[in-house]
Amino acid sequence: MKKFVALFLAALMIFALAACQKPEETKETEAPTTAAPTEAPTTEAPTEPEVDETEAKADEGHDAWVAHGQYLLADGTENSWNGKDTELYEASALKAISLADVKAIDEDLYNTLKEKDIKFLYTIDLIFGTNDAGWSTNFLKDGQLYKANGSYAFKVAQCTVDIDGDNKVYAEDQWISDPKTAHVESLTPETAFYPTWQEEKDENGFSWADNPVAIGGAGLYTLVIAQYNAVSAAATPGYGVGLILKEAKEGFDYEIVETFVPADHTFGIVGGFEGSNWGGDGPDVEMTSEDDTVWTGMVELKAGDEWKIRCDNSWDVKDWGAEDGSNFKAEEDGTYEVTIDFSGDAAVITVEKQ
């Protein structure tokens, strides 16, 4: 009996223990997560090198950039195309400047130049149109041809300097503009006229040999000239020029040039030959015409004599030289027959030694 009771109690204890144990919780299986696609690496645009706008852009290959013309320097000194006067060369030498300097001169010009790839940058203050140069030059504005006193004309040259004892000798190494290497654009077309960049004259008679002209009226100007890194080509200016009027002054007015009608004028030969002295010693050698189309004249010349044809015994109307704008030059002594023919689109000059 005791054995039975013991077995019964053991079985009951095992049952109780089994009833007290909790079944293990079933873990839910999570759906596998899909990783977001990896974005392609972004390629940053190459950054352009920062430009130091405070650094003066000086031309180390030339000793000086010099302005030529019959203008006045800011202190009132007349330049008279420099001649070979060292003092005038030094006084008319331009100063290397920075883009920040241009911003202080004129913000519109600064905004224009900062878009250019500039190699060199220079400036000078000049007075145009107040002193009588004694000759005239033409320019084009808004399709109209004008005549200006020669004191409005100017050019810039890049110069080398040689030391000769106590003297400095300036030599023009590069003219701006030049028919093949220095194509210039006007950055301020309301104040600066630049002739066409070609050797042959255009329909208005302009070529690279003609002078740039200040066309904003008489006054004190700041000239700013830049050389670009781009090489000059027919459609690619290598230089840019701006003229900023600082102070208007009393001076010579511009005159409208009327359509040229040869029959309304007289024609003559003038030059450095005996009896002429470029018009200083007497009237021009007369040229005559039978049909108001072709004019002919005879002139005695010595070898080396230079000369031109002009209208009305004056430089104020129109004159003609060689194709590149320079003077004609006699190769040898003799009598020459000179003819100017207006029957075509442009005047044609022939010279025959008799």
The CATH number assigned to the domain holding 286 equals: 2.60.40.3620
Kindly state whether residues 199 and 324 are assigned to the same domain. no
In a domain, 299, yes or no: yes
Number of domains in the chain: 2
Kindly state whether residues 211 and 268 are assigned to the same domain. no
Pair 161, 173: CB distance under 8 Å = no
pLDDT of residue 13: 52
Kindly state whether residues 95 and 125 are assigned to the same domain. yes
Kindly state whether residues 221 and 200 are assigned to the same domain. yes
Kindly state whether residues 237 and 122 are assigned to the same domain. yes
In a domain, 188, yes or no: yes
- pTM for this model (two decimals): 0.65
Structural domain boundaries enclosing 146: 64-256
In a domain, 24, yes or no: no
In a domain, 3, yes or no: no
Kindly state whether residues 266 and 240 are assigned to the same domain. no
Kindly state whether residues 100 and 244 are assigned to the same domain. yes
Which of the listed residues 256, 284, 299 is the one where a domain comes to its end?
A: 256
pLDDT of residue 47: 58
Kindly state whether residues 102 and 230 are assigned to the same domain. yes
Kindly state whether residues 280 and 245 are assigned to the same domain. no
Kindly state whether residues 221 and 310 are assigned to the same domain. no
Which of the listed residues 241, 256, 271 is the one where a domain comes to its end?
A: 256
In a domain, 56, yes or no: no
How confident is the prediction along the chain (354 residues), in pLDDT tens digits per residue? 444 444 444 554 544 444 445 444 444 445 455 555 555 555 565 555 566 899 999 999 999 999 999 999 999 999 988 877 889 999 999 999 999 999 999 999 999 999 999 999 999 999 999 999 999 999 999 889 999 999 999 999 999 999 887 788 999 999 998 888 899 999 999 999 999 888 888 878 888 888 999 999 999 999 999 999 999 888 899 999 999 999 999 999 999 988 788 999 999 999 999 999 999 998 999 999 999 999 999 999 999 999 999 999 998 888 999 877 789 999 999 999 999 999 987 899 999 999
Which of the listed residues 256, 285, 318 is the one where a domain comes to its end?
A: 256
pLDDT of residue 25: 45
In a domain, 26, yes or no: no
Kindly state whether residues 208 and 294 are assigned to the same domain. no
In a domain, 28, yes or no: no
In a domain, 328, yes or no: yes
Kindly state whether residues 299 and 212 are assigned to the same domain. no
pLDDT of residue 272: 95
